[in-house]
């Protein structure tokens, strides 16, 4: 379940660096901004926080971390020029210190993890930042995988998809020659294709149109063709 996964990511992040509170913001590629999906350890109007507050890339500490794709460790948030106080006003917390770490998976921005106020009045360390960076990378991949599974489940359950043909794929055109090159690269082989006269029905290239999946269930591809092929090969190696 995606919601449970996101909640767990925040809880683990807090525990890893001894933070009093944490939040997870997801990236909306259409609006190119961040929105709060999980807020943990906060006491204020969390529904309002999640429903109203959106941060364009570059705004606030989280927005800046997302835009630069680099973590930010702020020792004194109230005096930092990037700090955006509206979140404190809604959540009821006073942010003293914080770390914001972007979640990047397959070179795509997924969102930002925030941890607030290290316990016992201490400051977050460089080791805390490094630990969250490593965890954020794994969290991003887990979120992308969970979204793919959720898209398949939604497609199966949604009433409006009854009788519809929906492709869940990368949405990229790829030729047979390109597939052969990828397989050779991934397997360390040099298999040469044999070309013969074309026959009716021969496939020259493949393209799974994901337009219906976008329209009906809001699906967006997160893995390109070569990466998906690599994962498929790894699965066969591990299971067959």
For residues 150 and 130, give the distance between their C-alpha atoms in angstroms, rounded to a whole number: 30
Which of 100-109, 116-125, 129-138, 229-238 is the least confident region? 229-238
**Strand, helix or coil at 119?**
helix
pTM exceeds 0.95: no
How open is the CA angle 107-111-114, to the nearest 5 degrees? 130
Asked if pLDDT for residue 152 goes beyond 60, the answer is: yes
The pLDDT of residue 10 = 94
Tokens 């080791």 sit at which residue?
127
CB 66 within 8 A of CB 187: no
Cα–Cα distances in Å, from 240 out to 179, 184, 186, 232, 234?
Answer: 22, 19, 17, 12, 10
Tokens 């066969």 sit at which residue?
236
The pLDDT of residue 18 = 95
For residue 162, what pLDDT band results from cuts at 50, 70 and 90?
low
The rounded percent of the chain whose pLDDT value lies above 70 is 93
Q: pLDDT tens digits for 45-102?
A: 777 788 788 999 999 999 999 999 999 999 999 999 999 888 888 888 899 999 999 9
Which alpha helices (DSSP H) does the chain contain, by range? 2-17, 46-52, 60-68, 86-91, 126-157, 176-187, 211-217, 225-239
């Amino acid at each position: 379940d995606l919601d449970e996964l996101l909640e767990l990511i925040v809880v683990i992040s807090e525990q890893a660096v001894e933070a009093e509170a944490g939040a997870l913001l997801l990236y909306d590629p259409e609006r190119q901004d961040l929105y709060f999906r999980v807020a943990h350890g906060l006491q204020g109007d969390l529904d309002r926080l999640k429903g109203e507050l959106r941060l364009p890339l570059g705004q606030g500490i989280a927005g800046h971390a997302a835009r630069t794709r680099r973590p930010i460790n702020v020792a004194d948030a109230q005096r930092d020029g990037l700090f955006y106080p509206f979140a404190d006003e809604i959540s009821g917390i006073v942010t003293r210190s914080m770390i914001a770490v972007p979640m990047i998976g397959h070179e795509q921005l997924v969102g930002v993890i925030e941890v607030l106020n290290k316990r016992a009045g201490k400051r977050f360390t460089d080791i805390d930042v490094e630990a969250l960076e490593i965890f954020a990378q794994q969290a991003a991949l887990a979120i992308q995988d969970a979204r793919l599974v959720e898209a398949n489940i939604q497609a199966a359950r949604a009433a409006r998809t009854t009788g519809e043909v929906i492709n869940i794929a990368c949405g990229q055109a790829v030729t047979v020659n390109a597939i052969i090159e990828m397989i050779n690269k991934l397997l360390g082989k040099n298999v040469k294709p044999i070309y013969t006269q074309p026959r009716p029905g021969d496939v020259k290239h493949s393209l799974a149109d994901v337009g219906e999946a976008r329209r009906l269930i809001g699906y967006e591809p997160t893995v390109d063709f070569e990466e998906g092929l690599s994962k498929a090969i790894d699965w066969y190696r591990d299971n067959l």
